[in-house]
Amino acid sequence: MSYDVDPELLPWLDMLPQLALRDRESVLAARDQQSHMQELMPTYEPANPVDVRDTTVPGPSDAPDVPVRVYSPANRQGLVPGLLYIHGGGFVVGDLDMFHAQVLRFADELGVVIVSVDYRLAPDHPFPAPVEDCYAALRWLAEKASELGVDPARIGVAGESAGGGLAAATALLARDRGGPGLCFQLLGIPELDDRLATDSMTDYVDTPLWNRPNAVYSWTAYLGTEPGGEDVSPYAAPARATDLAGLPPAFVTTCQYDPLRDEGVEYARRLAHAGVPTELRLYPGTFHGSSLVESAAVSRRMAEDEIDALRRGLRVTESR
């Protein structure tokens, strides 16, 4: 197919990594390419001092501890909001470094404490391991709120791509397990539906960075079986959840030429219909991961919209 990609993004298409997930060998190759992707990721120099430290938190029952990276603004006064951040990577690649610049910017501009979680990856660790790691990190954030300087009434969850899907699933788990309470969820270009039946998922077989073949393998690896079966848990694929009432307010982003577009739009529609305050943004001329081209006006707008949504959703009161 041909795509009317934003003119500012077009010159970068040949420089972006070619991701083709088909089997375990291709996953290992993609992980080897992470260093190249990190070179493409924007760097960020904070205007305010931010303490960054790596640690581990207690994992799920009978599972290893979970590595996390904690971002703490050094000059904050009093309790501030807390945010659990979940990186993307199709459930099979990604780590704490991949989205470091973005998380550092959130901590700097918003003055909030962020816990970025390095969950176990499929196919070696299929569902429920990744989402249980995320939920364990959320519980730690809430339990250590006082020690971290976090207001327990202002804790949110955010993620991008597969991380957006895991963020949605973590919010479902928090609701259904009686906590921790969340005040906000940011679902960036989220991967939510293993049924792979939307128009965008059916048609976009050759879009840049992410396409239907990648999505098919991603879900196969994450579920440990063929996607689209009858008994897939909503904590694996949040689009499967039949009841979205009682979830925290949401901000959902989607890209025009992204196979994940329609499932993000539909999840936002269902959240709103269930009475959840929900904002949806669909960015024209963009594709999955096009925000890597940070110089493009649409990428800058996407980043600014996320900062603004987090500021409002986490009820940030301090001016940075």
Catalytic residues, by residue number, are 161, 258, 288
The residues, any chain, with a CB within 8 Å of residue 122's CB and separated by 6 or more, are: 91, 92, 129, 130, 221, 222, 224
For the chain, give the number of residues. 320
CB 95 within 8 A of CB 33: no
Nearest-angstrom CA–CA distance, 145 and 115: 11
Classify strands 150-160 and 80-86 as parallel, antiparallel or unpaired: parallel
Residue 318 is encoded by which pair of tokens?
């301090």
Q: Name the amino acid, one letter, at 199.
A: D
Helices then strands, counting H and E runs in the chain, come out as 10, 8
Nearest to 70 by CA among 127, 113, 11: 113
